Amino acid sequence: SQQGEEDPQALSIQEGENATMNCSYKTSINNLQWYRQNSGRGLVHLILIRSNEREKHSGRLRVTLDTSKKSSSLLITASRAADTASYFCATAPSGQGGSEKLVFGKGTKLTVNP
């Protein structure tokens, strides 16, 4: 079953606006990662936030993690048409021993209109 669930499923904004995507998960985690996928292509890692971190930045990306609410958000500031893609959260559940598997959500499809 899916661990992470992104919200919304789809988001359409104008260039220059900020985009916020959310991810909720069910079990305790070691870390949470965000990936981007351009249409039909492989996923590209964006950022990893560990369970003891609350916020992380990378360029125009800001990720927050609230382990008490089992949720994370990805903020893309000053969006560009090139940010149009699907965004996935992936959780690394803790306490699984040697399985070390990432569990991916179903993604948020972001469209940035010029």
Partner 1 sequence: DADVTQTPRNRITKTGKRIMLECSQTKGHDRMYWYRQDPGLGLRLIYYSFDVKDINKGEISDGYSVSRQAQAKFSLSLESAIPNQTALYFCATGQGARETQYFGPGTRLLVL
Binding site for partner 1 (CB under 8 A): 2, 30-31, 33, 35, 40-45, 48, 88, 90, 92, 99-102, 104-107
Give the residue with the Cβ less far from partner 1, 30 or 77.
30
CB of 75 to partner 1, least distance (A): 20
The whole-angstrom separation of Cα 86 and Cα 84 is: 7
> What amino acid is encoded at 32 in this protein?
L
The whole-angstrom separation of Cα 27 and Cα 105 is: 14
Give the residue with the Cβ less far from partner 1, 68 or 99.
99
